[in-house]
Amino acid sequence: MTPAGQKTFTLATDLDGTFLGGTEDDRRTLYDWIEARRDSVGLVFVSGRDPMFIESLCSDGFVPWPDYVIGDVGTTVAEVRERKIHVIEPLEEQIAELWGGRGDAVRATLDGAAGLTLQPTPFRYRVSYDYDPHAYDGVAEGRVREMGLDVLISDNRFFDVLPPGVSKGPTLLRFLDHFGIAHGRTLVAGDTLNDLSMFQTGLQGAVVGGSEQPLLDATRDIQTARHCAAIGAAGIIEAIAAFDLHPEVHEVAA
């Protein structure tokens, strides 16, 4: 297998609405293109999803296995070996330190908070809620910030409490530098506001067609962020071709 830092191109992509978005034919085109070029194309899932979900997703044989996972909105960093996801401890040490074991304190502080329903998944370095914008009164954000933690509201339905300064973008940069992956040969892709920090890294990016309006507004003046016409997986192909990140992508680009 080609080492991560020596691959021609690396795709660091969100899942829902992005890598998993678009028609089945568009997804199959992208997935087959990647699978045929695993020696030259690196695949990193940068998602709010947890490793257990990703293992289940890829086990069906349709969605390709990634080489690495930056999950849980940037609080999990892992590699895939033998179709199992294994945490990369050196890249999680700082995240764990910044979190400081405050999960129980967050849950207690936000117990009964208006507009928030605790998600049952036992994340290690984040606490996540389903968010009702009509019932939410804004109090919870202040409580979280008083604890020295960050809040990320995305897709108008998720409320994530994260370690300070930790999100998809900063974790991805640390990951790329750790493995010697060239920034100029990397494409980030996303569709909601929890992907914004990836586009703020200076990496070339695909804001795929069908993205939520707040992300479109927030990335409008970021020169490296392409607002793609094509939706989901087709938007990723569109951006790879537009940025000329792989010599063989034009074979499948519209």
Reported as a single tens digit per residue, the pLDDT across 115-143 is: 999 999 889 999 999 999 999 999 999 99
Average pLDDT of the segment spanning 206-222: 97
Domain 4-94+166-251 has CATH 1.10.3720.10: no
Write down how long the chain is: 254
The continuous run of DSSP H or E covering 160 comes out as: strand 158-162
User: Do 64 and 58 touch, CB atoms closer than 8 A?
Assistant: yes
Average pLDDT of the segment spanning 20-28: 97
Helical H runs in the chain?
24-35, 51-58, 89-99, 103-109, 139-146, 168-179, 196-199, 213-219, 232-242
The CATH label, of 3.90.1070.10, 3.30.499.10, 3.90.1150.10, 3.20.20.70, for the domain at 101-162 is 3.90.1070.10
Specify the pairing of strand 41-46 against strand 68-71. Answer: parallel
Average pLDDT of the segment spanning 36-42: 97
Question: Residue 254: what pLDDT?
Answer: 63
53-112 pLDDT tens trace: 999 999 989 999 999 999 999 999 999 999 999 999 999 999 999 999 999 999 999 999
Residue 193 has pLDDT above 70, yes or no: yes
Averaged confidence pLDDT in the chain: 96
Q: Which are the contacts of 158, defined by CB distance < 8 A and separation ≥ 6?
A: 48, 128, 129, 130, 131, 152, 194
DSSP line for 104-143: HHHHHHTTT-TTEEE-SS--SS-EEEEE-TTT--SHHHHH
Closest CA to 208 of 26, 10, 1, 76: 26
CA–CA distance from 54 to each of 29, 70, 91, 253 (Å)?
20, 11, 19, 27
Residue 233 has pLDDT above 90, yes or no: yes
Letter for the amino acid at 248? E
Each domain of the chain, given as residue ranges in start order, spans 4-94+166-251, 101-162
157-176 pLDDT tens trace: 999 999 999 999 999 999 99
Q: In this prediction, what percent of the chain has a pLDDT beyond 90?
A: 94
Task: Give the separation between CA 49 and CA 123, rounded to whole angstroms.
Answer: 10
Question: Residue 59: what pLDDT?
Answer: 95
CA–CA distance from 136 to each of 113, 115, 146, 194, 250 (Å)?
8, 4, 18, 19, 46
Average pLDDT of the segment spanning 28-51: 97
Question: Residue 184: what pLDDT?
Answer: 97
